[in-house]
Amino acid sequence: MGVMAADEPVERVFQALCDGRLTRDDLTARKLAAFLGQTTMVLYHHYGSLDGFLIRVDGAGWRMLAEGLEARARGGADARALAVYYVEFALRRPDLYWLMAERRFDRARLRDEGRLRLARPLWGAFVGLLGRYGSARPAEDTHVLFAGLHGIAMLTLSGRANLGEDPAADHEVAFAAARRLADLVLPPRPAEPPAPPANEGCGLRRGC
């Protein structure tokens, strides 16, 4: 049983959730330790608690989503395409998305322990992206889009996206709803290029 670098367990669990080798039912201290080939102390020594470990995996998921949205924005995608990407992200990685958006964390405790350092920069990245798409109230619109797109994703994952029994496939109904939501919230325009950074910080890169 070798010693693992602090970020290695996070990356391994994150990748396993992405590709389906782990599910939400495996996200217990005992099962994760077995998957990592370690004792449960690997979680508590480096991360303080199971929540402290899983919030790091959660952060890796939100980072991946933010980076995917940013890449598409830079490539000229409109807001409708970004809304579809959000839903598609959730449908392709249901257990990772559950951790990111459904699992309950003791966020007050994690905040007191200084384990929510990514929350503000990630939120700022999403708000800034909507500002580049012409939102006059980007923080409020980010809340609206997250709520709406999350609802569309969860209805689809539970088999309820197509309650009207439309002849289209469930995911197509979901994508159409995502496009319509984007139309309602944002003006139909491509993103403006991001402003150049004031200095070279670590931003959202892993390992910072």
Determine the average pLDDT of the residues in 102-122. 92
pTM for the model: 0.86
pLDDT at residue 205 tops 60: no
Least confident of 16-20, 72-76, 142-146, 204-208: 204-208
- What is the predicted pLDDT for the residue at 46? 87
- What is the predicted pLDDT for the residue at 3? 40
> Which distant-in-sequence residues (6+ apart) come within 8 Å of 183 by Cβ?
79, 80
Cα Dmax for the chain: 55
Three-state SS sequence of the chain? CCCCCCHHHHHHHHHHHHHCCCCHHHCCHHHHHHHHCCCCHHHHHHHCCHHHHHHHHHHHHHHHHHHHHHHHHHCCCEHHHHHHHHHHHHHHCHHHHHHHHCCCCCHHHHHHCCCCCCHHHHHHHHHHHHHHCCCCCHHHHHHHHHHHHHHHHHHHHCCCCCCCCCCCCHHHHHHHHHHHHHHHHCCCCECCCCCCCCCCCCCCCCCC
Query: Confidence band (pLDDT; 50, 70, 90) for 196?
Result: low
Please give the share of the chain, as a percent, with pLDDT higher than 90.
Answer: 76
Structure tokens of 3?
A: 């010693």
pLDDT in tens, 11-21: 999 999 999 99
Query: Confidence band (pLDDT; 50, 70, 90) for 206?
Result: very low
Determine the average pLDDT of the residues in 6-34. 95
pLDDT at residue 4 tops 90: no
- What is the predicted pLDDT for the residue at 183? 95
pLDDT in tens, 144-157: 999 999 999 999 99
Of residues 4 and 123, more confidently modeled: 123
- What is the predicted pLDDT for the residue at 200? 47
Which structural domains are found in the chain, ordered by start?
A: 7-185 (1.10.357.10)
- Considering 147-151, 161-165, 168-172, the range whose residues carry the highest mean pLDDT is 147-151
pLDDT at residue 190 tops 80: no
